[in-house]
Amino acid sequence: MAIFEQIANEVVKGQADAVKKLVNQALSENISAEDIMNNGLVAGMNVVSEKFKNNEFFIPEVLVSARAMTAGLEILNPLLAEANVKAKGKVVIGTVKGDLHDIGKNIVGMMLQGAGYEIIDLGADVPKEKFIEFTQKEDANVVGMSALLTTTMIYMQEIIQGLKDAGLRDKVKVIIGGAPVTQAYADQIEADGYAPDAATAVDLAKDILD
Ligand code: B1M
């Protein structure tokens, strides 16, 4: 079996140690970090994404695969930076102010990272000032907001207003998600998109940036 396929399979199986070993092996065979990332790690996460959409994988499997992918990416990151490999886009992501739920946001971040986006994770309980500061500082392409409480999702609108007031709204796409969030709410607050799950968030990011 080709090394890329082996790496992808181990990502799907969530075997971080095997992924690390195979990534190092591929590097020792002079395969570029970019090829290893795209044809091994990202290819594996694409399979995970499909399985999650088809209800063949559930949250625990996705988390374990994402961790295995991250283990491989940690080896490649310095090499990718050296080779100046451009990420597909930069996403500033966080759970909004007042909300401590970060499991879903973390999965979305990891899946986006697996799909080749650079992630600036602001954590949970993030005030609008921080979203604005990092959108500007990082010259982000996408702002991703997560909320799990009906009482905190309304804060997303304030962040969008904050981006408008800072003159950033035209420069950045806004995507939102979280259990109480709906497409209707996204339309209401004029977000660029809503995703019900992490795999759809990846498709959404690809669509709105293309
Ligand atoms: Co809380 N909590 N919680 N909780 N909690 C819920 C959300 C709740 C529905 C439980 C319930 O009552 N049935 C309820 C909210 C009710 C409501 O507002 N309608 C609730 C409550 C009330 C509370 C507290 C207020 C409880 C209390 O203290 N009285 C409190 C609030 C604290 C706060 O935030 N200020 C609280 C606290 C907690 C814990 C800290 C104990 C813990 C969070 C730990 C953590 O995240 N580190 C917790 C948990 C675990 C839950 C439940 C059980 C599970 C949430 C979760 O992680 N789901 C939850 C009940 C439930 O949802 N069944 C509940 C798994 C996760 C993968 O899914 O986050 O939906 P989810 O993310 C999905 C999608 O939504 C989407 O993709 C993800 C992956 O598929 N998605 C995005 C998410 N973000 C996205 C962003 C995107 C796109 C897609 O674009 C950027």
- Annotation: CATH topology of 90-209: Rossmann fold (3.40.50)
Tokens describing residue 196: 């019900």
CA-CA distances (angstroms) from residue 14 to 57, 111, 135?
Answer: 12, 14, 32
**Virtual CA dihedral for 178, 63, 36, 208, nearest 10 degrees?**
-10
Banded pLDDT at 183 (limits 50, 70, 90): very high
For residue 168, pLDDT over 80 is answered with yes
Report the C-alpha gap between 87 and 169 in whole angstroms. 21
Q: How far, in Å, CA of 53 to CA of 97, rounded?
A: 29
With the most atoms of ligand 1 within 8 angstroms of its CB, the residue from 101, 135, 176 to mutate is 101
Q: Which atom of ligand 1 is nearest to the CA of 99?
A: 34
Domain with CATH 1.10.1240.10 in the chain: 2-82
CB of 144 within 6 A of ligand 1: the answer is yes
pLDDT tens digits along 16-63: 999 999 999 999 999 998 899 889 998 998 899 889 889 999 989 989
Look at residue 144 and give its three-state secondary structure.
strand
Which residues have a Cβ under 8 Å from the Cβ of 72 and sit 6 or more positions away?
7, 11, 19, 20, 22, 23, 36, 37, 40, 41
- In this structure, are residues 54 and 106 in contact, taking their beta carbons and an 8 Å threshold? no
Q: Distance between CA atoms of 97 and 135, rounded to whole angstroms?
A: 16
Provide CATH 3.40.50.280 ranges for the chain. Answer: 90-209
Ligand 1: which atom is nearest the Cα of residue 151? 18
Q: What is the rounded CA–CA span in Å between residue 14 and residue 22? A: 13
Residue having the nearest C-alpha atom to atom 32 of ligand 1 = 100
C-beta 104 within 6 A of ligand 1? yes
Contact 45, 114 (CB under 8 A): yes
Q: Name the more confident of 49 and 3.
A: 3
CB 141 within 8 Å of CB 90: yes
Q: Ligand 1: does its nearest atom lie under 6 Å from the Cβ of 175?
A: yes
CA 71 remoteness from chain centre: 15
C-alpha dihedral sign at 39, 84, 210, 56: positive
Q: What is the pLDDT of residues 98-121, one digit of tens each?
A: 999 998 898 898 888 888 899 999
Nearest CA to ligand 1 atom 22: 149
**156 close to ligand 1 (CB < 6 Angstrom):** no
Q: Give CATH superfamily name and number for 2-82.
A: Methionine synthase domain (1.10.1240.10)
pLDDT at 84: 67
What is the structure's pLDDT at 34?
Answer: 84
Residue type, 111: M
For the segment 88-94, the average pLDDT, to the nearest whole number, is: 95
